[in-house]
């Protein structure tokens, strides 16, 4: 039995890297055969005609390698209408077993294709409780697999709070231009902290991508020392944790308005926590399921809570150490590949076994 992955993007995209390419590697390491098919679906959408024709042909040809008993694994593969039509026709006539995985509430923007693949799937994998609730309207076999991290790669860069540093570093990592509205949450928080917090701090933002709006947002805060890192080698498993290790506090500001934000999750907080960095997140989407407030991280539902909880973390090294250690243990036990892949293998095997019945 082979698991055939059809992905949203190549390995440079965080979603496909974490939920397909790395998953395929982990499955192979445990004795299961996995194949990543080319081209990724987003490339089909971005390639103009007539060059698109060769990609369509490559997609069709890849289907001939799928044997009876194999599993088709669609990782958020809804971005292209040609792929959608090809795959729906293939699944209908071939009767191959299919797992459909989506890690964002993509049905908000692409309802029809998401609904059809959800209905056709032999099993659906979602990333949050909210997404699972939506999927269960169209499929009874829905499983929640949160996005996970390569824990050993992050543990290698565990934060050492015994090293006294001043100012302390509050850090954020991501794709800055895509999160301007979320990052705006920090602006009044930082202004008030600078005026009231006894502990000096700086802000390190990774992923600014030379975006003028991101730069100006924080450069205009009087008295704030800020450092921007425009980009990293996102395919290097050590590039992100190496930088996160410099954080004293990891922050994840995020809006909670609208269906998209209510049913989202994030990898950022897990990356901070996996490095043993004390983490504070907006209370949105899946965060209340991931973070036990005050135990393995902090949740903030208002500007006042952001200020209060950041003040507490800035002032107390022992608190940062305790929160960071608890967060790291929680990621190891719940959100690592070692914790999740055995569950996924059980699901894949159950789908495969149903083929033989």
pTM given for the model: 0.91
* 34-85 per-position pLDDT tens digit: 999 999 999 999 999 999 999 999 999 999 999 999 999 999 999 999 999 9
Mean pLDDT rounded to a whole number for the chain: 95
**Please, what's the b/e burial string for 94-108 (b: 16 or more CB within 10 A of its CB; e: otherwise)?**
eebbbbbbbbbbbbb
What was the pLDDT predicted at 234? 77
Handedness of CA 184, 186, 189, 194 (dihedral sign): negative
Of 101, 52, 97, the residue nearest 76 (C-alpha): 101
Cα-based torsion angle of the residue sequence 220, 221, 224, 228 in order, rounded to the nearest 10 degrees: -50
Tokens 């999160």 locate to 179
If 0-12 CB within 10 Å is exposed, 13-18 middle and 19+ buried, where does residue 11 land?
Answer: middle
pLDDT band at 355 (very low <50, low <70, confident <90, very high): low
Cα-based torsion angle of the residue sequence 57, 116, 15, 155 in order, rounded to the nearest 10 degrees: -130
What was the pLDDT predicted at 54? 97
Q: Where are the alpha helices (DSSP H) in 200-316?
A: 212-219, 239-244, 258-262, 268-274, 287-290, 303-315
Tokens 């992923």 locate to 207
Structural domains of the chain ordered from first start: 2-148+337-356 (3.40.50.2000), 151-334 (3.40.50.2000)
* 93-141 per-position pLDDT tens digit: 999 999 999 999 999 999 999 999 999 999 999 999 999 999 999 999 9
Cα-based torsion angle of the residue sequence 10, 11, 15, 20 in order, rounded to the nearest 10 degrees: 90
């Amino acid at each position: 039995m082979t698991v055939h992955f059809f992905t949203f993007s190549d390995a440079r995209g965080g979603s496909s890297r974490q939920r397909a390419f790395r998953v395929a590697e982990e499955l192979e390491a445990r004795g299961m055969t996995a194949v990543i098919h080319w081209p990724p679906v987003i490339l089909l959408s971005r390639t103009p005609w007539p060059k698109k024709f060769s990609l369509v042909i490559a997609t069709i040809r890849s289907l001939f390698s799928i044997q009876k008993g194999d599993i088709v694994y669609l990782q958020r593969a809804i971005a292209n209408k040609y792929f959608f039509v090809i795959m729906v026709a293939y699944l209908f006539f071939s009767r191959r077993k299919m797992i459909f995985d989506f890690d964002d509430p993509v049905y908000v923007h692409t309802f029809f294709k998401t609904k059809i693949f959800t209905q056709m799937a032999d099993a659906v994998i979602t990333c949050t409780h909210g997404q699972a609730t939506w999927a269960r309207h169209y499929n009874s076999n829905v499983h929640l697999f949160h996005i996970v991290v390569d824990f050993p790669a992050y543990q290698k860069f565990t934060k050492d709070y015994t090293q006294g540093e001043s100012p302390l570093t509050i850090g954020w990592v991501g794709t800055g231009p895509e999160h301007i509205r979320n990052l705006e949450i920090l602006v009044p928080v930082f202004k008030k902290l600078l005026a009231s917090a006894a502990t000096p701090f700086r802000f390190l933002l990774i992923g600014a991508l030379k975006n003028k709006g991101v730069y100006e947002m924080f450069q205009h805060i009087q008295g704030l020392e800020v450092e921007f890192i425009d980009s990293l080698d996102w395919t290097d498993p050590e590039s992100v944790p190496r930088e996160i290790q410099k954080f004293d506090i990891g922050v994840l500001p995020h809006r909670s308005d609208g269906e998209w934000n209510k049913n989202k999750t994030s990898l950022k907080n897990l990356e901070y926590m996996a490095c043993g960095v004390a983490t504070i997140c907006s209370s949105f989407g899946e965060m209340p399921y991931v973070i036990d407030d005050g135990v393995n991280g902090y949740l903030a539902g208002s500007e006042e809570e952001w200020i209060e909880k950041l003040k507490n973390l800035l002032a107390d090294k022992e608190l940062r150490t305790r929160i960071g250690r608890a967060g790291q243990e929680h990621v190891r036990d719940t959100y690592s590949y070692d914790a999740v892949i055995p569950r996924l293998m059980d699901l894949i095997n159950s789908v495969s076994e149903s083929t033989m019945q």
